[in-house]
A and B are shown apart, each in its own frame.
Chain A
Amino acid sequence: MNNPLYQKHIISIPDFSRQELELIVDTAQSIKQQPRPELLKNKVVASCFFEASTRTRLSFETAVQRLGGSVIGFADGGNTSLGKKGETLVDSVKVISSYSDAFFMRHPQEGAARLASEFSSVPVINGGDGSNQHPTQTLLDLFTIYETQGSLEGLKVAFVGDLKYGRTVHSLTQALSLFGCEFYFIAPKALAMPDYIIEELNAREIKYNLHDSIEEVVDELDILYMTRVQKERFDETEYQHMKSSFILRADMLKQVKENLKILHPLPRVDEITTDVDTTPYAYYFEQAENGVYARQALLALVMTNEFGAQ
């Protein structure tokens, strides 16, 4: 049995090789098809939210329970002694890791999960560190893409909306670029993909295209990944003008490829009109459900040696 992720930390997408990403996706698929309700029996997983994030926390905690483990933890570190008494994260981590067999954490500061992993005696899973990484979102996205397309290889993937601040978009681009995908970036100028991602793509000679509207490219796509454009970043007229180019409506989907799937990390506001929900292309609610399988896969891989490349 050879599982390269056993007792490892899950901190940042660029840490993973293509083979490791494939292992996670395969494991998620396997657990979705064949649940493992006893895999983490008698194990304790700590759920440490130094900053509140209800969706992520529910998904993680469900994943632990579905594998038969038990959960300890806190939902909002700001209101616990951990945040308030001025204890360093390093000290908190030493204590938490002595109580649990693994823990996942969300923290408002960038780098918190990496730091925690250096002081923890058990595996750490990053559930979001400030504006930096949110690897479990990326892994559930990868799993969902694999599930709907049967492969991650050479897909045509468009990202729409806020590509500047959307950390999930950055990590997913990095991950998919290991599989030879071609990208379409559709964003207002003020929210364009940051230079460092573009430079990485250039350096690795990965194909990408920049567009101003969804309609220009939607017919060619395998995956259309929508994100929310935050109103706060614009004044009202700008926002009204811009939002029409980056909103997806059912009538735009008349000529699309049969295998097209539309993803969105949720919560959605108005960037996908509700008439899209009933088309065969909408897959964002299944994607949210897949978050539980992807997180189960991570827990299974870092906490047990049951899964692995043969």
Chain B
Amino acid sequence: MKKKLQVEAIAHGTVIDHVPAGQGIKILKFFQLSAAQERITVGLNLPSGEQQQKDLIKVENTVFDENQANQLALFAPNATINLIEDFEVVRKFHVSTPEQVKGVFACPNSNCISHNEPIDSNFYVRHQQQDIKLKCHYCEKTFDRGLFSELD
């Protein structure tokens, strides 16, 4: 009960929990959550049992589908998504790394054709040893995950 009160409860929407401390702001920026005009509550550096510190994001009146949620996995591989209705968790799931990321990030290669044309960016997610890399469908260049999280 105490834990739930760390950040104000919401009536209806999505709670993204177990975001590594420091990634919360990036997620807000990347998914342009703040542009949606919905009330968003963010908790940064909250105490968390195993992880020591975590970030947490509550977005009211917005329900993430699994595909959207999985895009988060690039920033927060252990995040859990809680869908809330009438203050109750109606569904809870872990994000899993998507095979493809479409229309989320711009290609870091400035000479990539995807920048000038009426199309979505499109990356294939590759697991290399411990790391995740993204390969652009168009220019075929491969980028470190870090490159995306550094972008503005």
Contact = CB atoms under 8 A, between A and B. Distances in A.
A130 B139 contact: yes
Contacts of A112: 113
B142 A111 contact: no
Interface string A108-136: 11111011001000000000011111000
Chain B interface mostly helix, strand, loop or mixed? Answer: loop
A199 B142 CA distance: 12
A112 B140 CA distance: 11
Contacts of A88: 116-118
B116 A111 contact: no
A109 B142 CA distance: 16
Contact of B140 (A89, A109, A110): A110
A271 B141 CA distance: 29
B142 A90 contact: no
A9 interface: no
Given A133-B140, A196-B142, A109 B119 contact: no
B51 to A, nearest CB: 31
Contacts of A131: 111
B118 A109 contact: no
Given A111-B136, A114-B137, A130 B118 contact: no
Interface core residue of A129, A132, A196 (most chain B CB under 10 Å):
A132
Contact of B138 (A14, A111, A196, A199): A111
Contacts of A111: 112-114, 136-140
A96 to B, nearest CB: 15
Nearest to A118: B119
A90 B139 contact: no
B119 A110 contact: no
B34 interface: no
Interface string A81-108: 0000000111000000000000000011
A89 B112 CA distance: 13
A213 interface: no
A129 B137 CA distance: 13
A199 B118 CA distance: 34
List 10 tightest A-B contacts by C-beta distance, closest first: A111-B138, A110-B139, A111-B113, A111-B139, A109-B113, A112-B113, A115-B113, A88-B117, A111-B112, A114-B138
A12 interface: yes
A89 B117 contact: yes
Interface of A: 12, 14, 88-90, 107-112, 114-115, 118, 129-133, 196, 199
A210 B128 CA distance: 24
A90 B117 contact: yes
Contacts of B139: 109-111, 129-130, 132
Contacts of A115: 113-114, 117, 119, 138
Contacts of B48: none
B119 A90 contact: yes
Contacts of B111: 108-110, 130-131
Given A115-B117, A115-B119, A110 B112 contact: yes
Nearest to A111: B138
B108 to A, nearest CB: 12
A55 to B, nearest CB: 22
B109 interface: yes
A89 B139 CA distance: 15
20 contacts: A88-B117, A88-B118, A109-B113, A110-B111, A110-B139, A111-B113, A111-B136, A111-B137, A111-B138, A114-B113, A114-B137, A115-B113, A115-B114, A115-B117, A115-B138, A129-B113, A129-B139, A131-B111, A132-B141, A199-B128
Contacts of A109: 111-113, 116, 139
A112 B119 CA distance: 12
Nearest to B109: A110
A130 B141 CA distance: 12
A132 B118 contact: no
A110 B117 contact: no
Contacts of A110: 109, 111-113, 138-141
B142 to A, nearest CB: 6
Contacts of B116: 88-89, 109
